[in-house]
Amino acid sequence: MILPYLGQSFKNLFSKPVTEAFPAGDPPKAAEGYRGRLHYDPELCINCGMCMRVCAPQAITREIVPLENGDQQITFTYDMTSCTFCRMCSDFCTKKAITLTDDYMIVGSAHEDFLVSGTFIKAAPPKPKFTPEQLEAMKKAAAAKKAAAAAAADGEKKPEEKAEAKGEE
């Protein structure tokens, strides 16, 4: 046939158009497994920095602000205009703090519209109980005690007492 679409075009003329109503209504749902705007949960993050390492377009930046009490305020910023949506960061995140949602409407004018960021405070590690000097002194004391116990064991040579001395150490 010379004009293969003639019949179809006349059929279309009297049928309902297939066009989606989109800008009039809600945007349709994305397909399953769609990788859209990133979601970051700072409560789960442990600041391992793995996402930054695996990100090919270097879309992830980290800002560390030390606080007065020794804690650190850590901000991760994910730049959606730089992201390739490969989901490597999500896959490598051990705490599952990063997930990719199905929100594909990433449209805007200002750069801030495209940034996903989260802040959390990383508490400083607990302070040690003893200072280094005290530890040194304790070590010396323990060594002296051990030496004394060894000297005492040499005199008596009783297995029970030896075991007891060891237990005390």
Partner 1 sequence: MLQNMIDSSMKKSPWIFHINAGSCNGCDIELVSVLTPRYDAERYGFKLCGSPRQADIVVVSGPVTMQSRERLRRTLAQVPEPFCVVSLGSCPRSGNVFKGSYAIDGPLEKYVHVDVSVAGCTPKPEAIIAGLAQAAQLLEEKRKEARK
Partner 2 sequence: MTNVLLYAVHLFLFPGLLFIVVMGLLLAGIDRKLVARMQNRVGASILQPWYDFLKCCGKETIIPRHARKGLFLGAPVACFVILISAALFIPVFGGLSMSFEGDVVVILYLLTAAGVAIIVGSAASGSPFAGVGLSREMVAMISYELPFVLVLLAVGALCGQDSAYGVTFSMDEIVRWQTENGSSLLHPAMIPAAIAMLFVIPCEIGMHPFDIAEAETEISEGTLTEYSGAPLGVFKLCHCVKMYVMTALFCALFLGGLSTGILLVDALLEVVFCIIVTFLCMTVPHAICARFKVEQVFKFYWTFVSALALISLLLVWIMR
Fill in the per-residue mask, 7 to 36: x = in contact with partner 1 (CB under 8 A), - = not in contact.
----------xxxx-xx---xx-x-----x
Judge contact between 45 and 120, C-beta under 8 A.
yes
Q: Which amino acid is at 61?
A: T
Residue 119: DSSP 8-state: E
Q: Which window, 11-19, 59-67, 113-121, 155-163, contacts partner 2 (CB under 8 A)?
A: 11-19
In the three-class reduction of DSSP (H, G, I as helix; E, B as strand; rest coil), residue 38 is classed as strand
CB of 107 to partner 1, least distance (A): 5
Closest alpha carbon to 44 in 92, 96, 88: 96
80 binds partner 1, rule: CB under 8 A? yes
Separation CA 25–CA 12 (nearest Å): 24
Instruction: For residue 23, count CB atoms less than 10 angstroms from its CB and return exposed for 0-12, middle for 13-18, buried for 19 or more.
Output: exposed
- Out of partner 1, partner 2, none, what residue 81 binds, judged by CB under 5 to 8 A for its kind, is partner 1
Q: Which window, 1-9, 57-65, 66-74, 129-137, contacts partner 1 (CB under 8 A)?
A: 57-65
State which residue, 16 or 129, has the beta carbon closest to partner 2.
Answer: 16
59 binds partner 1, rule: CB under 8 A? yes
Fill in the per-residue mask, 97 to 136: x = in contact with partner 1 (CB under 8 A), - = not in contact.
-------xxxxxx----x----------------------
- CA torsion, points 132, 138, 144, 150, in degrees to nearest 10? -120
54 binds partner 1, rule: CB under 8 A? no
Tell me, by CB under 8 A, how many residues bind partner 1: 28
CB of 115 to partner 2, least distance (A): 35
- CA torsion, points 64, 67, 70, 75, in degrees to nearest 10? -30
